[in-house]
Copies of this chain bind each other. A is one copy, B any other.
Amino acid sequence: MAEIYRASTTAPVNIAVIKYWGKRDPKLNLPTNSSLSVTLSQNDLRTHTTASCSPSYPKEDTLLLNGSPQDVSGARTQACFRELRALRKQLEDSDSSLPKLSSFPLKIVSENNFPTAAGLASSAAGFAALVRAIANLYELPSSPTDLSRIARQGSGSACRSLFGGYVGWEQGTATDGSDSIAFQVAPASHWPNMRAVILVVSAAKKGVSSTTGMQTTVATSSLFAARASETVPRRMQEMQKAIQDKDFEAFGKVTMMDSNSFHATCLDTYPPIFYLNDVSRAAIKIVESINAAAGKIIAAYTFDAGPNAVVYYLEENENEVAGLFKAILGEKDGWKGERGAKIKTSDVENVREAGGVAIDLLKDGVSRVILTGVGEGPVKTEQNLIDEKGEPVS
């Protein structure tokens, strides 16, 4: 029986604090502006992927995600496969003793440890894990930066999930995308007490897809150019300084302003794109009230292309921030487990000025919470999702 080659990794989700929105090259996923994110802990949110290849496999490459076969014929997945195979081929060409893995069909199995229905951006973790797992399988000497060029072609923000901690994505200027790469602003250990509570909002319906949405914004928003050319470059500098200085007030203010700026360009799109709903607005009101009660910024909201709120805060303010949401949303899923149990609820009276309406909207509209924090980049694992015979582990 022909040999089965396998390698496995886990990769994290990241949530941007300076948002990626707009492509200058849709094929290569080259962005119209740089962006910056916090990599979230894989204890809470991660994709686990095993890449495998063998001359004995059926000829077509395959991908199984959470037990369901996925289409791999799309240009994005194909670009990742092609680039990784080309790198492997270079190794094989320079050392004839190496097995010709680049010519074997790929079999990939992935699993997320979080509910798909949560509407969390899983494509970033998914493509980061896919690229990292195949690079491991192929024993490529490529750095995370090198791999970020490839993962970016699968899903733009995936490039940022190849690093842990605080991660930038430099937009670059080269037409081939060679300088559009991710870089680590600071490791998780530099500012390890960054926490996040995610409020998962039960949306009636998925809104406009981000790929379609961002292209419509670029084409129709009259305000978008100012965001891309002036606002974001300035904020990238401010945000990197805030992270270097571990200055949460600056970090939080820029995070909130940039989320609002991104959603403003969505609203300025024609036809307008709305990702925030009344529940999202209620979360914003509550965060504003938490900060008003504290007399400074101790909580910062941000929203991706959907109504879920991600609220960043520092561990020392856990009771004031997560504890306040626990007081409102304690009945929802997500508070069990060691971390959730030790959070003390804080007095809802502190946010009464946000109005009972905001509290009721959150209670009605949030389906679950996820407690997490800053975390590490992809981690190699011996736990394979494909067994020695090449079959998915069930």
Contacts and interface: CB of A to CB of B under 8 A. Distances in A.
Interface of A: 204-205, 220-223, 225-227, 230-231, 234, 253, 256-257, 260-261, 263-265, 267-272, 274, 277-278, 281, 284, 288, 355, 357
Contact of A270 (B222, B256, B355): B256
A284 B271 CA distance: 9
A355 B274 CA distance: 15
Given A226-B222, A231-B222, A355-B205, A267 B264 contact: yes
Given A225-B226, A227-B223, A357-B205, A264 B268 contact: yes
A265 B267 CA distance: 9
Contact of A261 (B204, B223, B230, B278): B223
A265 B257 CA distance: 12
A284 B277 CA distance: 14
Given A205-B357, A256-B270, A267-B267, 5 more contacts: A222-B230, A222-B257, A261-B268, A272-B284, A277-B278
Contacts of A253: 270
Contacts of A269: 260
B355 A204 contact: yes
Query: Which of A231, A271, A284 has most B Cβ within 10 Å?
Result: A271
Contacts of A260: 267-270, 272
Nearest to A281: B274
Nearest to A288: B271
A288 B257 CA distance: 29
Contacts of A288: 271
Contacts of A204: 355, 357
A92 B257 CA distance: 56
A139 to B, nearest CB: 46
Nearest to A291: B271
A128 to B, nearest CB: 31
Nearest to A284: B272
Contacts of A205: 355, 357
